[in-house]
Structure formats: structure tokens, C-alpha cells
A and B are shown apart, each in its own frame.
Chain A
Amino acid sequence: GAVVSQHPSRVICKSGTSVKIECRSLDFQATTMFWYRQFPKQSLMLMATSNEGSKATYEQGVEKDKFLINHASLTLSTLTVTSAHPEDSSFYICSANPIRNRGTYNEQFFGPGTRLTVL
């Protein structure tokens, strides 16, 4: 089956530092990856859509200069939280769409998530 990994699974950092989270599709190529954020006891909110080789599309209210997304290859997308603050503490989840034939449903596979704690 299609597997998506995230690294690190858990990170604790000091306020003001930057944190990079990697999302990899291990056994398939993904033209599109999505980044979600989930605050405690809340739903998953889409932050941005990442397309390989082009700029990410951010959802309304998400600061693109704070959450830098790079989709450099068909198997890797990275999310960098710049100058992290305690309010950025959250569970970040990525998902990836395999390359599919036109007309078939494009499944979305989720990574295991990264728990970020900013002190």
C-alpha cells in the first residue's frame, strides 16, 4: 500500500527558532501534497496545497512567510515553521496524492503527523 512518512514525529523547540518537517511518499510519486494543522481536540484544517515544482497554494489566513513549503521532488515536501512561537504548537499532518490516470479517483494518503511544541 501507499505509505507516507513524516520526520520528525515529535519536536520541541525554543521560541524564535525555525523547525523543518519532512513529508515523504515512500513507495509512490506524488505530484500534490497537502499540509494540515490540528490543534488539541480540534479538527484538521488545511494549511496549504503543495505541487511539485511550483509554489504552494495557501489557505486563507495562513501566513506563507511563516509556514514555508517546498516541494522539491515527487516524493518530498517540507514545511518550515519560521520563528516559531508557542501558539504554533500543534499537530502537523501531511498527505500525498499518487500520480493517477485521468478519470480515476485520486486517493489521498496521510502521514503519521508531527507534534510540535514550542516553549
Chain B
Amino acid sequence: AQKVTQAQTEISVVEKEDVTLDCVYETRDTTYYLFWYKQPPSGELVFLIRRNSFDEQNEISGRYSWNFQKSTSSFNFTITASQVVDSAVYFCALSEGGGNKLTFGTGTQLKVEL
């Protein structure tokens, strides 16, 4: 069975600080996909990234970066120089094999203050 753990329930930072959101996953499949989504107060999910299990390269997109480590079953997300607009709930999610069912973590509420 697949499982996603986001141990950080809530994180508060001051603007311009760097912040890392942790995600640990469990799966028995060798082929799987990992995702990060942002959910602002409006509720709509915003897709941030998808990574498949065969691609362990880290990725950087502007102020966002992701660190995928299969050895520790982690897929952590770092926001550099955080901004108030980054305040949202961030979900890590897992999809196994060829299926499309997503298992979401419990989410991390990020609050960025001035």
C-alpha cells in the first residue's frame, strides 16, 4: 500500500527566508510518480512538479527546487527567498505504477510573514 508522510503540519517563516518542506513516501512498486501541489486559500490545486521513480535528478524552477532521494524515500521541496504569496498548503502526492490514483500527504501549511 502506498503512503505519503508530511511530518510538518505548519511552518512559519519571515519573508526572504529559505524553507524546506519534507515528504517521505512508501511504496512497493518500482515504478511510481511523485508530485507536489500548492493549495492557496481559494482551494484550487496548483500543480508544481511531477517526478518519476527512474529520474533522481534534482530540479530547480525559479525559486523552487526539489530533492528526490530514493535511498531515503524522500522528495523534499525547497522555496528560496520565500515571499508572502507562497503562503499556502503544500501537498506531496504519490501515484503507483501505471495507475492514476493519487495518494496525498496530510499537507504542510506554510505561512510567510513580512
Contacts and interface: CB of A to CB of B under 8 A. Distances in A.
Interface of A: 32, 34, 41-46, 49, 91, 93, 95, 97, 105-108, 110, 112-113, 115
A115 B102 CA distance: 21
A112 B102 contact: no
A42 B102 contact: no
B106 A43 contact: yes
B29 to A, nearest CB: 14
B50 A112 contact: no
Contacts of B107: 42-43
Nearest to A112: B44
Chain B interface residue bracket vs A: 10 to 19
* Chief secondary structure at chain A's binding surface: strand
Given A43-B91, A43-B107, A110 B101 contact: no
Given A32-B100, A105-B33, A105-B52, A42 B43 contact: no
Interface in B26-73: 33, 42-45, 47, 50, 52
B43 A105 contact: no
A18 B104 CA distance: 28
Contacts of B43: 91, 93, 112-113, 115
A2 B105 CA distance: 24
Interface string B85-103: 0000001000000001111
A115 B41 CA distance: 12
A110 B33 contact: no
B102 A108 contact: yes
A86 B113 CA distance: 35
